[in-house]
Amino acid sequence: MTETQDHETLPGSAQWMLTSLEPQVKDVAETMTRRVQSALTDLAGPVDGRRYRLIYTAIHNAMRVFIDRALGRSTPMTALDDLFRKMGYREAGTGRDRTTIERALHLVQNELWDLLRVLAADNELSAGALNAVGEMLSDFFAHLDEQLALGHESGTTDRNQDVGVARDRLIDLLLTGGDPDAVSTQASIARWEVPERITVAAIDVDGEGELEPGVLGREAIVGKGRPQLVLCDAAAFEDVSRQIKEALPRTRITHCWPIAAADVAEAWKWVTRAVELVHSHVIPKRPVIDCARYRTEIWLHAEPVMRRQLAQELLEPLFAESENSREILSETLLVWLETRESAPAIAAKLGVHPQTVRYRWKRINELFGEALHDPDFVIQLTLVLKASVPLWIAGDQSDFQLYRSTRER
C-alpha cells in the first residue's frame, strides 16, 4: 500500500457506511483488544496493563488510518508502519517468532470484516460495494503484516549479532547437546572460544544478588537463574573463582572436574545435584565445593526413587528398630562396611568402648543374619547406607515415614 490515495472509486454507500463507523472506533478497538487477549494466552494481561495498552493502540490507530484512507483523506501511513515494525522488532527481541502476533493481526482483520458485513446488511449495501471494501481491507492488513515481518526480520538480525543473546544461546546449545556447527557459530558471535577442557560451576548465592555476566569479562560465560551456571576454561578456573568471590563474597561455588564441551550437560547435572546435597546436608557447606571429592555421593543420589526403594527393601530390619537403636546400629554398620576393621578400631573411630561395638555387632547379625555373607547384598547395603545415613543425620525422616505408612495399610 503506497501513500497515494487510490480509493476514489469506492461507492458512496460504502463511504457513508465507513463514516458511520468512525464514532465507534474506540469501543470497537477496546472490544477487539479483549478478544485478542482472551484468544491468545501469550498476549493475555490486565486491562490496565502495558500489554493491553499496546494492543489497543495498534488496533485503534489501524482502524483510524484504514477509515481515513478508505474515505480518500490524505492520511500518511508512516506512523502506523513504524508502530507495526516496532511490534515485530520487539517480538524478535524477546526471541519469539511471528506466529502469535500474526494470529492477533488476522483475528482483528476477521473481527473487523465481520463487523463491516453486519453494517453492510443493516445499510443494504450492494455486494459490489461490500466486495470493494473487503478488497481494501485485505490489502490494508496485508500491508500491516508486511511491516510486522520487516520489523521482525530487523530484530532477528540484531538479536543474532548481540553478544549477550549469543551467550545465552551458546549455553542452551551446550546444555542440550546442540549441533557443533551451531555451537561454533554462537561462540563466535559471543566472542568466547569454547575451550578443549571446560569447568562447569554453579554459583549458589546466600542472600546476594545474581552475578552480572560482565564481571568475568571474556574468561567465562554466565547463565541465568539459581543456581547460576558458569562455564570457563578449566585452566582459568582459579582466576574466575577469585573474581566471583570478589563480586559476591558470600556466594558458594560448586564446580566439577574438567570435561569436554560435549559433556557440559552431564556436568551441569552433577554440579546441581551437589548443590542440592549441600542443602540437604549430605555434603558439608564450604565456600568452594569440588565435586571430585564427592563423586560417590553425587552418583548414589542420581536416582532418589531407586535409593528410597532399596532402603525399604534392604534396611527393613533397621527401620523396625527404635529411633536410638536404628541410629547407632546404622552408624556402626556403615563404618564396618567401609573399613572392615576390628572392634577396637571401629570403637576408636566411633569414640565408644570396643565392648559396645561388639554388642552392637551382635544385634546387627541378629537383624541381617546370613545376608551379611552375601557379597552382592553387602555391596548394595554399603551403597544404600552411604547414601541414606547422611540424610537421616540431617533430619530427613521420609524413609521411616514411608516404612511406617506401608505397615499401617
For residue range 216-227, list pLDDT tens digits in order.
877 899 988 888
Order of strands across the sheet that contains 288-290: 220-222, 228-233, 198-204, 252-255, 288-290
- Of all helices (H) and strands (E), which one includes residue 323? helix 323-339
CA distance 345 to 88: 73
- In which band, very low, low, confident or very high, does the pLDDT at 145 lie, cut at 50, 70 and 90? very high
Nearest to 140 by CA among 195, 92, 84, 215: 84
pLDDT of residue 260: 92
Say whether pLDDT at 397 is over 70. Answer: yes
222 is written with which cell numbers? 554466565
Query: What confidence tens digit (pLDDT) does each residue in 57-89 have?
Result: 999 999 999 999 999 888 899 999 999 999 998
What are the helix (H) ranges across 124-209? Answer: 127-160, 163-175, 180-190
Q: What is the DSSP letter of 295?
A: H
Q: DSSP labels for 211-242? A: PPGGGGTTSEEE--SSSEEEEEEGGGHHHHHH
Give per-residue pLDDT as tens, 310-368: 889 899 999 888 888 888 899 999 999 888 889 999 999 999 999 999 999 999 999 99
Q: 212 Cβ partners below 8 Å, 6+ apart?
A: 222, 247
Q: What pLDDT score does 6 carry? A: 43
DSSP 302: S
Residue 3 in this model has a pLDDT that exceeds 50: no
Closest CA to 168 of 225, 247, 106, 114: 225
- Predicted confidence at residue 207, as pLDDT, reads 58
> Which burial class, exposed, middle or buried, applies to 405 when counting CB atoms under 10 A from its CB (0-12, 13-18, 19+)?
exposed
Q: Which of 245, 249, 251 is nearest to 228 (CA)?
A: 251
Tell me the CA end-to-end span of the chain in Å, nearest whole number.
75
What is the C-alpha to C-alpha distance for residues 348 and 351, in angstroms, rounded to an integer? 5
State yes or no: pLDDT of 173 exceeds 70: yes
Residues paired with residue 222 on neighbouring β-strands, in sequence order: 230
- In whole angstroms, what is the distance from residue 142 CA to residue 393 CA? 68
Domains of the chain: 12-160 (1.10.490), 196-300 (3.30.70), 304-408 (1.10.10)
Main-chain phi, psi angles of 228, to 5 degrees:
-80, 140
The angle, 0 to 180 degrees and rounded to 10, between the axes of the packed helices 50-70 and 78-93 is 150
